[in-house]
């Protein structure tokens, strides 16, 4: 798949004028990252806006002694890092591939040119920033106030955000270890939570996959604790 074909899968690109589509394609590269590899590092200058064409990545911070905090996972169809690129600042978190991922990297100069010159692109970025802010507020709330089972439910439900992650399907290729990376819970504790969610009819489990059978119930689960 070439750059143009990959970008054609994303709504913001299809909304651009022809000259802006050409500009975006000229400043984008496609790279594949192995599991656990760094796509961008904390403290480095933000050179790219990052999109996931296939796979799953996470935004996280790690301390020198190995403690970590994951902000969110980004599945196929999602984009991240627009805030750092707009501010032209050093990135404040690591971007890491959870599994093998094919990633689109839009150069910072191209991103900011599109932001200044393309009304459809600027509108998309504003909506993206607004949705991301709401997502992060919900994540802080969930991590501080919800129990482990509810945190797992919310972590899965957030992958179905229609604006941020429009390509998520009902069957997630997501392992218990990967959910643990997104929630900060052990694989064993994630397994317990998933078994409860399965017993209550919200998900179906099979090897390395989760079928979401009742998304609205999953979104509501645990919120009564707030």
Q: Where are the domains of the chain?
A: 3-127, 146-220
Domains 3-127 and 146-220 share a fold: no
Q: For residue 48, give the nearest of 92, 88, 2 by alpha carbon.
A: 88
CA distance 77 to 54: 8
Question: Looking at domain 146-220, which CATH architecture does it have?
Answer: Orthogonal Bundle (1.10)
**What is the C-alpha R_g of the chain?**
18
Residue 199: what pLDDT?
95
Across 11-25, 55-69, 89-103, the highest mean pLDDT is recorded for: 11-25
Task: Label residue 83 exposed, middle or buried (CB < 10 Å: 0-12, 13-18, 19+).
Answer: middle
Residue 6: what pLDDT?
92
Residue 94: what pLDDT?
92
pTM here is 0.82
Q: For residue 117, give the nearest of 8, 51, 4, 23 by alpha carbon.
A: 23
pLDDT by residue (tens digit) across 71-129?
888 999 999 999 989 988 888 899 999 889 999 999 999 999 999 999 999 999 999 99
Q: Is the pLDDT of residue 222 over 80?
A: no
Given the structure tokens 């994303």, which residue do they identify? Answer: 10
Residue 224: what pLDDT?
65
| CATH superfamily of the 3-127 domain | Jelly Rolls (2.60.120.10)
Given the structure tokens 């509501």, which residue do they identify? Answer: 220
């Amino acid at each position: 798949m070439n750059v143009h074909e990959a970008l054609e899968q994303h709504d913001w690109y299809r909304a651009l004028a022809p000259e802006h589509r050409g500009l975006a394609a000229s400043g984008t590269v496609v790279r594949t990252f192995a599991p656990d590899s760094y796509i961008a590092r904390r403290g480095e200058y933000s050179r790219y806006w990052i999109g996931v064409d296939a796979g799953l990545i996470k935004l996280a911070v790690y301390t020198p002694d190995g403690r970590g905090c994951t902000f969110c996972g980004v599945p196929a169809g999602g984009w991240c890092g627009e805030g750092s690129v707009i501010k032209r600042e050093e990135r404040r978190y690591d971007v890491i591939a959870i599994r093998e991922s094919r990633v689109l990297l839009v150069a910072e100069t191209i991103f900011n040119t599109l932001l200044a010159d393309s009304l459809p692109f600027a509108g998309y970025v504003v909506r993206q920033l607004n949705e991301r802010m709401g997502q992060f507020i919900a994540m802080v709330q969930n991590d501080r106030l919800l129990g482990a089972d509810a945190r797992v439910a919310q972590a899965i439900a957030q992958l179905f955000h229609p604006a941020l992650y429009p390509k998520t399907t009902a069957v997630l290729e997501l392992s218990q270890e990967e959910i643990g990376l997104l929630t900060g819970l052990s694989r064993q504790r994630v397994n317990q939570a998933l078994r409860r969610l399965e017993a209550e009819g919200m998900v179906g489990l099979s090897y390395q996959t989760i079928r979401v059978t009742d998304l609205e119930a999953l979104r509501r689960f645990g919120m009564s604790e707030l």
